[in-house]
Amino acid sequence: MTERSLDDLIDEVVIGLASEEDCARIEKLAERDSEIAARLDRARTRYMALDETADELELPAQMWERVAADIATKQASTEGGNPAEIVELAPAIRNRNRWRIMAIGAMAATIMLAVVLGWTLNSRLEPTVIAVLLDAQGQPVALVEGARNNKTLVTLLEAAQVPDNQVMQVWTKPNSDGPPVSLGLLPSERSGVLEVRGLPSPAADQLYEITFEPDGGSPTNLPTGPILGKGFAKTPVF
């Protein structure tokens, strides 16, 4: 396994595109090799921005008050109402905010996994490839899903700072030796679904990128502006 292919596999493990066998293999390698463990930690840090795509979920009203009251009732019932034997409830009440944060964190992690692995259900695009676009610092800025019918879902992972009088234009290279092809313009600072007819179905290792172009799109029909992010497509494992 080359250094580059190892980094690719680590990225796929972190964002949920690797098989169970590859995940287990990387975890075992990380247990034995501190350098691989460090790479795995760095990848997890880079892709933390994916979590920002998840909506916040509110807990049911007065949930923690009901839990505290239920604990107090069960303690009194178990110990026969003897005050000397009842465990003090005050520490549990004081710590409930800490448990609330832990519960919300667990929910956020679950939502993040659903965003990455269950994207097909949300977008209804049945993607054949998925690409995570990285900026010049290696940070994920967008998630691209390409479907067989050449519909492309582009999800921004953070608000893009679009220069004045410019727009975001999405590109791909169906042929690695050919020129980039425009998939269309994104609404300013928003995610969107693009559709282009006449292109071959997207394939693994196909390049995707987003650039900043003048209003109306590139005047040359080729990328001319700064690159917001780029990445190579992978075939999702479901």
CATH (domain of 216):
2.60.40
pLDDT at 55: 54
69 vs 137: which has the higher pLDDT: 137
Q: For residue 158, tell me if it sits in a domain.
A: yes
Same structural domain for residues 187 and 141?
yes
Same structural domain for residues 109 and 70?
yes
pLDDT at 85 over 50: no
At 19, is the pLDDT very low, low, confident or very high (cuts 50, 70, 90)? confident
Radius of gyration of the chain (CA): 24
At residue 40's C-alpha, the angle toward residues 39 and 42, to 5°, is 65
Taking residues 21-25, report their average pLDDT: 88
pLDDT at 192 over 80: yes
Report the range out of 82-91, 201-210, 229-238 with the highest average pLDDT: 201-210
Same structural domain for residues 206 and 124?
yes
Cα distances from 123 to residues 48, 78, 153, 175, in angstroms, run 21, 51, 8, 26
Q: For residue 151, tell me if it sits in a domain.
A: yes
Q: For residue 226, tell me if it sits in a domain.
A: yes
90 vs 28: which has the higher pLDDT: 28
Same structural domain for residues 127 and 228?
yes
pLDDT at 231 over 70: yes
Distance CA 12, CA 35 (A): 18
CB 210 within 8 A of CB 169: yes
Distance CA 42, CA 14 (A): 10
Same structural domain for residues 204 and 219?
yes
Taking residues 210-237, report their average pLDDT: 92
Q: For residue 72, tell me if it sits in a domain.
A: yes
At 234, is the pLDDT very low, low, confident or very high (cuts 50, 70, 90)? very high
Distance CA 196, CA 184 (A): 8
Same structural domain for residues 223 and 146?
yes
Same structural domain for residues 212 and 147?
yes
Q: Report how many domains make up the chain.
A: 3
Same structural domain for residues 46 and 148?
no
Give the bridge partners for 213, in sequence order. 167
Q: For residue 28, tell me if it sits in a domain.
A: yes
Angle of helix 20-32 relative to helix 34-46, nearest 10 degrees? 130
* Residue 50: CA count within 13 A, CB half-sphere: 27
Tell me, what amino acid is at 172?
T
Q: For residue 238, tell me if it sits in a domain.
A: no
Q: For residue 206, tell me if it sits in a domain.
A: yes
Domain that holds residue 90: 63-113
At 21, is the pLDDT very low, low, confident or very high (cuts 50, 70, 90)? confident
Same structural domain for residues 125 and 102?
no
Q: For residue 22, tell me if it sits in a domain.
A: yes
pLDDT at 207 over 50: yes
pTM listed for this prediction: 0.53
Give DSSP secondary structure letters for 83-139.
TTTSPPSHHHHHTHHHHHHHHHHHHHHHHHHHHHHSHHHHH---EEEEEEEE-TTS-
CB atoms within 10 A of CB 173: 16
pLDDT at 121: 42
At 59, is the pLDDT very low, low, confident or very high (cuts 50, 70, 90)? low
At residue 78's C-alpha, the angle toward residues 72 and 82, to 5°, is 80
pLDDT at 97 over 90: no
Taking residues 67-94, report their average pLDDT: 58
At 75, is the pLDDT very low, low, confident or very high (cuts 50, 70, 90)? low
Among 42-51, 120-129, 133-142, the range scoring the smallest mean pLDDT is 120-129
Distance CA 106, CA 204 (A): 32
Same structural domain for residues 152 and 80?
no
| Length in residues, the chain | 238
CB 146 within 8 A of CB 200: no
